[in-house]
């Protein structure tokens, strides 16, 4: 008899302890979970004697067989042999895989727990059918977990498997385990899908399923919980539905082919969308820049709100605006508020810009950044070189330069460009292609847009990469120009999602439009005879941002011939909204469009790892962050439950 075809997607691991099962009957709970759609069941009972194990395993096996769902026994090969179920799951301290295979024969499923690269390699070599990778997050279900490895730990093991020579390693099935529930499942799945533009296969291995204990076994409604978790597993999270198409859904034969350089005409609708829709720009930013950020938002036609209170984030997220999280003040309280806001905006698919201010400067900031990156998904991450190198590290990537005699350029601030002195950008240690490689690598891993600002800005969404040479040195001499670029991007992203012409364009085009508006405004302001330095530059810059917006509306107005009927009504709307926002119409005149001043270079061929050697391996930081993300989530869950008369078991859901 051959091995059963197994669907690993929602893998229920049982628990018979009172803390989770309560007084309920294990068989009944498993039956309800089966009704709810779990696809694989593991009987895990660490304390019962052998007779009880065999009796219960038989009962569970009957229920599973009735639904054609395989049953796996945890730890005990003898019990699996006795009841002739479909397989076993073995930890690092259990019977070795090769011996279990000899006893069970080739047709049984053998799963192995792994938390390191070498354990994964050995489990594959010894013939495991699937790997239970973990522990993902700390969990009260299993307190003595040896390794909490977080998302980055799982990513590194998946990446390691996907680059192995043998098909056995590349094709082995994988699930992750530890702290998975309805609130984090979609994010985990999203974070573990990693297109890799530099690998021949185009995609790093992903997980085939999630192994879950308490979110089902501790639920008072196991059927509904299983249904819900199944639904979540198969549904993209709200924030991903508006992403650029995934490689697999792309109609182009090569998903990583760069698109043609955007033109002023293709970028114009995005510029117009902001005054048209007057989007909310929700700023969780530091005290130093609040006033300036609000003025900048108003000048481009957005509506700013400065609120650092995470408790009002969900109300604000429902107003269809964009959020910018500026890590300028990275206190524990601020991080907690940020996390609430990230969840709120991710929950409704609202755009979030992360500005990891000073992230490369101190260990505490690097850890704070790791915490934020693991807490949710950001549409755009923008920062200077050392900040983006810190983002790479938080994303589980670190690089060694092949040029600079093998020096480490990211990871731990131990030298090279990875260490930042203050929040200022400092001098660059990377070539343009190295920057492009890093930015593209992070963007494809996180499936977002990454922008490294500098004299030349480099931005990528993992598919397309641009260098932008606009801007002026005065931007680097005033406080908050980087922070307020974040504000501007948040407004642009929000407006793009509200505008039917722009909605379908990928976020990278929206970000590019924003940068051009911002940097061409800086160039124009700096060129004025009334501007003598950074002090006089600031008001001139705010004026220029406003003027470029006015001119864009005027240009669009003239393009269509003011007063004419517009077939699809879009330009009319822009002009009307421009007027509402205080812009005079200029029918009949056709000024040139300032976007012509753009200096954008598509970076079509970025050499791969020959340029930068990428390191794979679990770090202490990966582990620490995994621990903190989970404990913070637990604290939130407890706070949510406060005052409610909820049975202990339900808290796990």
Ligand X SMILES: Cc1ncc(COP(=O)(O)OP(=O)(O)O)c(N)n1
Ligand Y SMILES: Cc1ncsc1CCOP(=O)(O)O
Residues of this chain that interact with ligand Y (CB under 6 A) are 13, 134-135, 139, 141-142, 145, 177-180, 212-215
Alpha-carbon distance of 320 to 287, in angstroms, equals 24
Evaluate whether 447 touches 195 at the Cβ level (below 8 Å): yes
State which H helix or E strand residue 521 sits in. helix 507-526
Give the whole-angstrom CA distance, residue 72 versus residue 3.
13
CB of 62 to ligand Y, least distance (A): 24
Q: Does 189 bind ligand X (CB under 6 A)?
A: no
- Residues 576-595 vs ligand X: string with x where CB under 6 A? --------------------
CB of 227 to ligand Y, least distance (A): 17
Out of 64, 85, 176, 483, the active site residue is 483
Query: Quick one: 95 or 528, whose CB is closer to ligand X?
Result: 95
Q: Respond yes or no: is residue 85 known to be catalytic.
A: no
Q: Which of ligand Y, ligand X, none has residue 89 at its interface (CB below 5 to 8 Å by kind)?
A: ligand X
Is 123 an interacting residue with respect to ligand X (CB under 6 A)? no
Which of residues 9, 14, 16, 113 is near ligand X by CB under 6 A?
Answer: 113
At closest approach, how far in Å is the CB of 92 from ligand X? 6
Q: Is 608 in the site for ligand X (CB under 6 A)?
A: no
- The closest of 188, 176, 185 to 228, measured between CA atoms, is 185
Q: Say if residues 488 and 478 touch (Cβ distance below 8 Å).
A: no
Q: Based on CB atoms, which residue is closest to ligand Y, 17 or 431?
A: 17
The answer to whether residue 14 forms part of the interface with ligand X (CB under 6 A) is no
Run of H or E residues at 73: strand 71-74
The verdict on 44 binding ligand X (CB under 6 A) reads yes
Q: How far is the CB of 428 from ligand X (least distance, A)?
A: 44
| Helix (H) or strand (E) segment spanning residue 272 | helix 264-277
Which of ligand Y, ligand X, none does residue 480 bind to, with CB < 5 to 8 Å depending on kind? none
What is the smallest separation between the CB atom of 44 and ligand Y, expressed in angstroms? 6
How would you label 349-363 residue by residue, b for 16+ Cβ within 10 Å and e otherwise?
bbbbbbbbbbbbbee
Strand positions, DSSP E, 266-361: 280-284, 303-306, 322-326, 352-355
Site size for ligand X, by CB under 6 A? 17
Q: Between 74 and 481, name the residue whose CB sits nearer to ligand X.
A: 74
**Closer of 175 and 442 to ligand X (Cβ):** 175
Among 16, 32, 74, 419, binds ligand X (CB under 6 A): 74
**Structure token digits, residue 541:** 């810059």
Task: Decide which of ligand X, ligand Y, none touches 214; Cβ closer than 5 to 8 Å per partner kind.
Answer: ligand Y
**Which lies closer to ligand Y via its Cβ, residue 134 or residue 328?**
134
Cβ within 8 Å of residue 630, ≥6 positions away: 137, 138, 139, 148, 179
Q: Rounded to 5 degrees, what are φ and ψ at 8?
A: -90, 5
- For ligand X, the binding residues in 150-179 under the rule CB under 6 A are 175, 177
Nearest-angstrom CA–CA distance, 112 and 155 = 17
Residue 94: which of ligand X, ligand Y, none does it interact with, CB under 5 to 8 A by kind? ligand X
Contact 247, 202 (CB under 8 A): yes
Q: Taking CB within 5 to 8 Å according to partner kind, which of ligand Y, ligand X, none is near residue 139?
A: ligand Y
Report CA torsion sign: 75, 160, 249, 506.
positive
Q: Which is nearer to ligand Y, 89 or 524 (CB)?
A: 89
Closer residue to ligand X, CB minimum distance, 119 or 362? 119
Task: Tell me whether residue 52 or residue 504 sits nearer to ligand X (CB atom).
Answer: 52
If contact means CB under 5 to 8 A according to the sort of partner, which of ligand Y, ligand X, none does residue 501 touch?
none
Contacts for 336 with CB less than 8 Å, ≥ 6 apart: 310, 632
In the bound complex, what is the minimum distance in angstroms from residue 647's beta carbon to ligand Y? 16
CA–CA distances in Å: residue 14 to residues 111, 239, 254, 595? 15, 32, 43, 60
Question: Which listed option, ligand X, ligand Y, none, makes contact with residue 484 (CB within 5 to 8 Å by class)?
Answer: none
Closest CB 22 distance from ligand Y, rounded Å: 14
Environment class of 311 (CB within 10 Å of its CB; exposed 0-12, middle 13-18, buried 19+): exposed
E strand spans, 343-470? 352-355, 380-383, 398-401, 449-452, 457-460, 465-468
Q: How far is the CB of 211 from ligand X (least distance, A)?
A: 4
Applying CB under 6 A, the residues found at the interface with ligand X are 11, 13, 42, 44, 74-75, 89, 91, 94, 111, 113, 132, 134, 142, 175, 177, 211
Residues recognised as catalytic: 483
């Amino acid at each position: 008899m051959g091995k059963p075809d197994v669907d690993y997607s929602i893998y229920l691991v049982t628990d018979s302890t009172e803390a989770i099962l309560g007084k309920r009957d294990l068989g009944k709970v498993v039956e309800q979970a089966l009704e709810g759609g779990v696809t694989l069941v593991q009987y895990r009972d660490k304390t019962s004697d052998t007779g009880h194990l065999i009796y219960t395993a038989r009962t569970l096996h009957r229920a599973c067989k009735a639904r054609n769902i395989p049953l796996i026994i945890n730890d005990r090969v003898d019990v699996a042999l006795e009841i002739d179920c479909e397989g076993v799951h073995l930890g690092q301290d259990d019977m070795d895989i090769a011996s279990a295979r000899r006893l069970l024969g080739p047709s049984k499923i053998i799963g192995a727990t792994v938390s390191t690269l070498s354990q994964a390699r050995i489990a594959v070599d010894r013939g495991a059918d699937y790997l239970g990778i973990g522990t993902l997050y700390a969990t009260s279900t299993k307190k003595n977990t040896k390794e909490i490895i977080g998302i980055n730990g799982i990513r590194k093991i998946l990446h390691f498997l996907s680059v192995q020579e043998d098909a056995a390693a590349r094709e082995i099935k994988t699930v992750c385990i530890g702290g998975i529930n309805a609130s984090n499942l979609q994010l985990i799945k999203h974070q573990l899908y990693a297109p890799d533009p530099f690998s021949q296969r185009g995609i790093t291995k992903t997980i085939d399923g999630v192994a879950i204990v308490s979110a089902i076994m501790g639920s008072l409604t196991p059927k509904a919980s299983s249904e819900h978790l199944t639904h979540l597993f198969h549904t993209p999270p709200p924030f991903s539905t508006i992403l650029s198409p995934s490689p697999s859904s792309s109609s182009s034969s090569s998903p990583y082919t760069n698109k043609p350089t955007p033109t002023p005409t293709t970028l114009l609708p995005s510029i117009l969308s902001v005054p048209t829709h007057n989007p909310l720009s929700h700023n969780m930013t530091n005290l130093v820049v609040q006033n300036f950020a609000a003025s900048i938002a108003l000048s481009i036609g957005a509506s700013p709100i400065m609120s650092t209170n995470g408790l009002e984030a969900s109300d604000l997220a429902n107003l269809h605006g964009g959020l910018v999280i500026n890590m300028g003040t990275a206190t524990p309280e601020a991080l907690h508020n940020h996390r609430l806001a990230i969840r709120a905006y991710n929950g409704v698919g609202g755009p979030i810009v992360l500005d990891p201010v000073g992230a490369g400067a101190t260990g505490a900031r690097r850890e704070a950044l790791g915490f934020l990156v693991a807490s949710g998904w950001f549409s755009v991450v923008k920062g200077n070189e050392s900040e983006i190198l810190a983002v790479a590290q938080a994303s589980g990537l670190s690089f060694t330069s092949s040029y600079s005699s093998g020096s480490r350029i990211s990871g731990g601030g131990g030298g090279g460009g990875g260490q930042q002195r203050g929040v200022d950008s400092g001098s660059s240690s990377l070539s343009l292609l190295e920057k492009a490689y890093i930015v593209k690598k992070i963007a494809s891993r996180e499936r977002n847009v990454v922008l490294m600002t500098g004299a030349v800005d480099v931005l990528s969404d993992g598919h397309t990469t641009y260098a932008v040479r606009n801007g002026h040195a005065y931007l680097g001499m005033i406080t908050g120009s980087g922070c307020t670029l974040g504000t501007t991007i948040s407004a642009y992203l929000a407006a793009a999602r509200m505008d039917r012409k722009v909605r379908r364009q990928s976020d990278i085009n929206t970000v590019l439009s924003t940068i051009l508006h911002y940097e061409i405004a800086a160039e124009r302001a700096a060129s004025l005879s009334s501007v003598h330095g950074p002090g006089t530059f600031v008001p001139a810059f705010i004026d220029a941002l406003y003027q470029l917006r006015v001119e864009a509306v005027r240009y669009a107005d003239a393009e269509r011939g003011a007063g004419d009927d517009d077939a699809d009504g879009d330009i009319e709307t822009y002009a009307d909204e421009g007027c509402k926002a205080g812009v005079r119409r200029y029918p009949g005149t056709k000024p040139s469009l300032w976007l012509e001043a753009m200096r954008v270079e598509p970076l079509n061929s970025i050499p791969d790892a020959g340029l930068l050697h990428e390191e794979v391996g679990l770090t202490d930081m990966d582990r620490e962050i995994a621990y903190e993300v989970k404990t913070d989530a637990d604290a939130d869950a407890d706070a949510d439950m406060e005052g409610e008369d909820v049975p202990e078991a339900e808290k796990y859901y």
